[in-house]
Structure 1
């Protein structure tokens, strides 16, 4: 005896009581393992968090959220047999799969966040250690017509470093000059001493953030983004330090004092120098957040521009 097929009601397809469009409907905090392959190196396994959205037209009560999970699983299963080298491309694949499954949607958005471990060594003793960097990728797929989709991809990172305040350091330098002169030290010796020995100042733990949005198949090196952020502050920081390492980090930072604005401008210049292959239309977002040590507030600076705009401004130096 055949068991009759019971068709369950599709409540999501009903018309809502308040028929208005919704910009984003989806699921957040979906955790998945993602294996990123690297040429001539071992693959990296990331414990990643996905946020997944589609837009919802006014005539539908709800989106079929189970299709979002199906889209992620489908793409990740394919990744087992097809190498994935770029997490932003993975997001792009998921976003396009979402649009295919949600025929009513005109836009799909996928956001990936993860922790990325990089190997570093202490500056003096050269001890190897691991540093954790926050990385993220996004993709937005938009339906041009029934057949074609336009996709924008974004990749970025957030890196911790340290900065030394130039303003307070100049005050301390002036105080040291007066004290040395009061001790009868000649001006030439005073100038030489102040040149060799960086003065005290207050420090900040800095967080540098860069994201680059591209269209098409332009490749953006995540390692280069991380390197640019690390080199934009007064000094990088290292988890494992001996006393000689601490001395070198502190001295390096105080020899290279920077305001929060300096960090953003340094990142902008190095992005222009480091990504010459990218289109002028690539959109760059640069942020620096410094957690002050002698204030309760944080210092913040940001620049959002196309790469073409940055190239024009840097060329005028």
Structure 2
């Protein structure tokens, strides 16, 4: 066996075990890498990009005759693409690249990341950054079109209509979250900033990272004048998503972290939108 100067064998003489034949007759639908943390560049509505820390899962299918896949190639692909601003088209290119380099029929990717949007306090006008948990989940079959889901989690404030109705003064309110996953028609796309803004309008009031006294008065009174059950928030969000051009399917969840109970109020809805 020929040795390198460090006393190790060269790649040409190392046996490729993962490329050997497997005789158990079991194909694997998804095999690859998970919990890969890399900096990624996400395209913004303003035309620039935002650098985020992404947690990624990238997989391909594996025919029954192959013993294993080439794990190092997944990291090579992700490292290459982490330096380029990512949106719908780039994810399609990334999965096409994965299919070609892994000689697969299909590839799948989940990119989870925190996205920051500047918020302006409603009275004082002070600006601050609010973080949103987001995910791009893409699936591509060789020769086909990208099947992409976009998900986002948005915080909100809700005020209980029942509490307001039966109390002589005041009403209990709480922070909640809305989660939306949407699938759009090929060629259609909604910016993270736009979807977040539409969702925030469905609560009793928006959540702001930075509030002065005048702002706090405003959000308290706004929520009081706009009471909503978790069911109200969910239904209003359904009506809003139905109006977005090009949405084929969506799944939404709403959860109120109750302030007077040791449990949450929860609602969910899944819908295929008629074209």
> Same fold judged by TM-score > 0.5?
yes
SS, match of residue 32 in structure 2: strand
Which residue pairs with 1:94 in the alignment?
94
Which residue pairs with 2:180 in the alignment?
210
Give the 3 Å change call, closer, same or farther, for CA 25–214 of structure 1 in structure 2: same
Answer yes or no: is the 8 Å Cα contact 2:158–2:205 preserved in 1.
yes
Any gaps of 5 or more consecutive residues in structure 2?
Answer: 4-8
Answer yes or no: is the 8 Å Cα contact 2:22–2:65 preserved in 1.
yes
> What do residues 14-41 of structure 1 show as CA deviations (whole Å, max 9, x unaligned)?
3447442223211112222223445765
CA distance in structure 2 between the aligned counterparts of 1:91 and 1:299, rounded to whole angstroms: 36
CA distance in structure 2 between the aligned counterparts of 1:40 and 1:168, rounded to whole angstroms: 42
How far has the Cα of 1:215 moved from its partner?
A: 4.3
RMSD: 2.4
> What do residues 192-228 of structure 1 show as CA deviations (whole Å, max 9, x unaligned)?
xxxxxxx422222111112221342222222111011
SS, match of residue 68 in structure 1: helix
Answer yes or no: is the 8 Å Cα contact 2:182–2:250 preserved in 1.
yes
Which residue pairs with 2:126 in the alignment?
127
1:290 paired with 2:260, answer no
Any gaps of 5 or more consecutive residues in structure 1?
Answer: 177-198, 310-317
1:260 paired with 2:230, answer yes
Which residue pairs with 1:30 in the alignment?
36
How far has the Cα of 1:42 moved from its partner?
A: 4.2
Q: Mean alpha-carbon deviation: is it higher for 111-120 or for 33-42?
A: 33-42
CA distance in structure 2 between the aligned counterparts of 1:38 and 1:158, rounded to whole angstroms: 17
How far has the Cα of 1:158 moved from its partner?
A: 0.9
> What do residues 115-136 of structure 1 show as CA deviations (whole Å, max 9, x unaligned)?
1111112222221211111221
CA distance in structure 1 between the aligned counterparts of 2:146 and 2:214, rounded to whole angstroms: 49
Give the 3 Å change call, closer, same or farther, for CA 226–218 of structure 1 in structure 2: same
CA distance in structure 1 between the aligned counterparts of 2:44 and 2:178, rounded to whole angstroms: 25
Q: Mean alpha-carbon deviation: is it higher for 86-95 or for 151-160?
A: 86-95
Which residue pairs with 1:190 in the alignment?
none
Which residue pairs with 2:75 in the alignment?
69
Which structure: larger Rg?
1
Which residue pairs with 2:160 in the alignment?
165
Answer yes or no: is the 8 Å Cα contact 2:37–2:54 preserved in 1.
yes
Which residue pairs with 2:109 in the alignment?
110
1:233-244 aligned at under 5 Å gives the runs 233-244=203-214
SS, match of residue 124 in structure 1: coil
**Corresponding pairs, count:** 268
1:155-234 aligned at under 5 Å gives the runs 155-172=150-167, 176=168, 199-234=169-204
How far has the Cα of 1:108 moved from its partner?
A: 0.9
